[in-house]
């Protein structure tokens, strides 16, 4: 007998000894909450530990005296975490000073959880016969019925084992697919990270600035773009269609289009850059046999660091300036980049700025986030009020305060979209 068989038989002994001693606490110390019982006669069926205990209590109420259960023979079977013990038992009772002996075939099924075997199913029968003095034979009908039960238990156990193997196989396939998907996303992240300037380079060109960048997923559709030409710093907050891997793929196309507009076509005026970028993106997607309605919204600035002149153009996303403590909003053209062939040219705007004026450009993710106690959208109005409340802070601290506010506001609410906010002090 191996160790597991010993554990099972110990549990089997506690279970049936508890019944013989009329000790329900002992008996039910090894019973699963999901136990079921099938029998014949008065106690025919019970499902669940409460019903089964109630049935046991009724039996004790009718016959409170302890008795003897002798196990004449037993067989034990184990398949993984399921086991069953079939045995022939002799129940010896003293009823009205008369010794009664019942011979009963019982099958007890166990399941293993946390290294403990628990009784999960009991199949027995009230005696269809009573042994006479010196009789040791078993009724053939009882033998046939129990053999049928044994066959059913064995077949069901084989079915469960096959189902378990299939579940494990599917689990393994899913895990492998998840690894492949995660690897692909991580590779997409490496590509996207390569097109985003690191913070030390950003600080070199825009020393008094912040960028709040919080992707909804590992990779994002939002991206920031920075280029320098002589005394001019070109920077943009871009919001590509979608988020996650699809958004990241679109962002690479749009980032490349911006680079080409400036580096290949030598354009420095924001409206001209947007016109050319829109054309490049539209032509890139129009080559597909499928109709692609992808592109981006963005807010593009060209700041001359010597003259303090700012030129700006926007595709759906605005420009916010705080100039001499006055809030100024300039609305963008109501057309996106690349969604469709642009008919109207983008509008160029020029501003003369002073030192300590603040420039803010952003995607729509921050204002569209749901959260707070009321779980409502933050919206542009509250976003504007938040920025105004931070004006006494240095630019870097404004960025930290915005990021902290976002996480406190969102709490356990799902992030709605990618987040991108850029702030620059002249």
Among 245, 227, 238, 241, which residue's Cα sits nearest to residue 190? 245
- Between 363 and 192, the more confident residue is 363
Does residue 286 contact residue 224 with C-beta atoms inside 8 Å? no
**pLDDT surpasses 90 at 291:** no
Distance CA 199, CA 212 (A): 11
For residues 42 and 145, which has the higher predicted lDDT (pLDDT)?
145
Pairing of strands 370-371, 376-377: antiparallel
| DSSP-derived secondary structure letter, 333 | B
Between residues 149 and 284, which one has the greater pLDDT? 284
Q: At which residue do the structure tokens 């409460």 appear?
A: 50
Residue 343 makes CB contacts below 8 A (sequence gap 6+) with none
Return the CATH fold of 196-425. Phosphatase 2c; domain 1 (3.60.40)
Q: What does each C-alpha distance from 399 to 197, 261, 289, 336, 391 come to in angstroms?
A: 17, 30, 43, 27, 11
Residue 218's pLDDT band (cuts 50, 70, 90): confident
d(CA 52, CA 45): 8
Q: What is the mean pLDDT of residues 194-204?
A: 87
Span 336-356, pLDDT tens digits? 998 766 668 999 999 999 999
For the segment 9-18, what is each residue's pLDDT rounded down to a tens digit? 999 999 999 9
What lies within 8 Å, CB to CB, of 224 at 6+ separation is 196, 197, 211, 213, 235, 236, 237, 238, 420, 422
Share of the chain above pLDDT 90, in %: 48
Q: Please state the length of the chain.
A: 426
Picking from 348, 380, 351, the residue whose alpha carbon sits closest to that of residue 366 is 380
* pLDDT of 139: 46
Residue 409, CB-side half-sphere exposure with 13 Å CA sphere: 21
Contact of 361 with 270, CB cutoff 8 Å: no
Of the two residues 155 and 324, the one the predictor is more confident about is: 324
CA 37 to CA 35: how far, in whole Å?
7
Q: Is pLDDT at 32 greater than 50 in this prediction?
A: yes
> Could you tell me where the DSSP H helices lie in 196-269?
199-205, 244-259
pLDDT classification of 321: cutoffs 50, 70, 90 = very high
- From residue 192, give the alpha-carbon distance in Å to each of 247, 253, 283, 362: 11, 11, 22, 19
- Minimum mean pLDDT range among 93-107, 134-148, 174-188: 134-148
Q: In what order do the strands lie in the sheet with 319-323?
A: 209-214, 419-425, 358-362, 319-323, 326-330
Q: Are 364 and 317 in contact (CB under 8 A)?
A: yes
Cα–Cα distance measured from residue 250 to residue 419, given in angstroms and rounded to the nearest whole number: 16
Contacts of 308 (CB under 8 A, 6+ apart): 352, 353, 354, 355, 426
Structural tokens at position 139:
């009724």
Task: Give percent of the chain above pLDDT 70.
Answer: 88
3-class SS at 281? helix
Please tell me the distance from the alpha carbon of residue 110 to that of residue 11, in angstroms, as a whole number.
Answer: 9
Helices 379-389 and 395-410, interaxial angle, to 10°? 140
The chain-wide mean pLDDT, for the chain, equals 86
Q: Are 108 and 15 in contact (CB under 8 A)?
A: yes
Give the mean pLDDT of 237-260: 84
Burial of 320 (0-12, 13-18, 19+ CB in 10 A): buried
Domains 3-165 and 196-425 share a fold: no
Q: Where are the domains of the chain?
A: 3-165, 196-425
Q: Which region holds residue 250: left if phi is over 0, alpha if psi is between -120 and 50, else beta? A: alpha
What is the bridge-based pairing of β-strands 296-304 and 232-240? antiparallel
Give SS3 for 358. Answer: strand
370 neighbors 412 (Cβ within 8 angstroms) = no
Please, are residues 212 and 420 in contact by the beta-carbon 8 Å criterion?
A: yes
SS3 label, residue 313: strand
* pTM of the shown model: 0.60
What are 125's two structure tokens? 């029968």
CATH number of this structure's domain 3-165:
3.10.450.50
């Amino acid at each position: 007998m191996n160790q597991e068989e010993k554990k099972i038989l110990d549990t089997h002994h506690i279970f049936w000894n508890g019944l013989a001693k009329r000790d329900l606490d002992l008996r039910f110390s090894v019973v699963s909450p999901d136990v079921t019982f099938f029998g014949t006669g008065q106690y025919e069926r019970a499902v669940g530990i409460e019903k089964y205990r109630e049935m046991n209590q009724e039996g004790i109420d009718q016959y409170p005296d302890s008795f003897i259960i002798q196990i004449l023979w037993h067989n034990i079977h184990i398949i993984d975490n399921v086991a069953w013990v079939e045995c022939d038992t002799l129940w010896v009772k003293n009823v009205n000073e008369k010794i009664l002996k019942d011979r009963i075939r019982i099958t007890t099924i166990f399941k293993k959880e946390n290294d403990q075997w628990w009784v999960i199913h009991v199949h027995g029968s009230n005696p269809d016969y009573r042994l006479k003095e010196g009789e040791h034979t078993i009724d053939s009908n009882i033998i046939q019925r129990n053999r049928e039960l044994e066959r059913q238990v064995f077949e069901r156990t084989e079915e469960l084992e096959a189902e378990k193997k299939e579940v494990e196989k599917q689990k393994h396939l899913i895990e492998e697919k998840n690894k492949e998907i995660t690897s692909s996303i991580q590779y997409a992240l490496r590509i996207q990270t390569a097109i985003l300037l690191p913070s030390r380079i950003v600080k070199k060109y825009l020393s008094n600035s912040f960028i709040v960048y919080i992707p909804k997923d590992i990779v994002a559709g939002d991206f920031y773009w920075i280029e320098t030409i002589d005394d001019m710093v070109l920077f943009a907050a871009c919001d590509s269609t979608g988020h996650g891997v699809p958004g990241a793929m679109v962002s690479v196309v749009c980032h490349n289009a911006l680079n080409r507009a400036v580096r290949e076509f030598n354009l420095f005026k924001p409206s001209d850059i947007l016109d050319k970028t829109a054309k490049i993106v539209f032509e890139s997607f129009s080559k597909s046999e499928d109709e692609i309605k992808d592109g981006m919204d963005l807010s593009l600035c060209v700041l001359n660091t010597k003259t303090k002149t700012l030129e700006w153009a926007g595709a759906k996303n605005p420009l916010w300036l705080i100039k001499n403590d006055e809030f100024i909003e300039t609305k963008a053209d109501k057309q996106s980049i690349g969604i469709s062939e642009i008919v109207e040219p983008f509008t160029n705007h020029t501003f003369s700025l002073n030192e300590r004026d603040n420039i803010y450009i952003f995607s729509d993710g921050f204002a569209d986030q749901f959260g707070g106690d009321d779980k409502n959208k933050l919206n542009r109005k509250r976003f504007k009020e938040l920025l105004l409340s931070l004006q006494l802070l240095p630019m870097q601290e404004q960025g930290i305060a915005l990021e902290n506010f976002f996480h406190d506001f969102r709490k356990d609410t799902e992030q709605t979209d990618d987040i991108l906010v850029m702030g620059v002090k002249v």
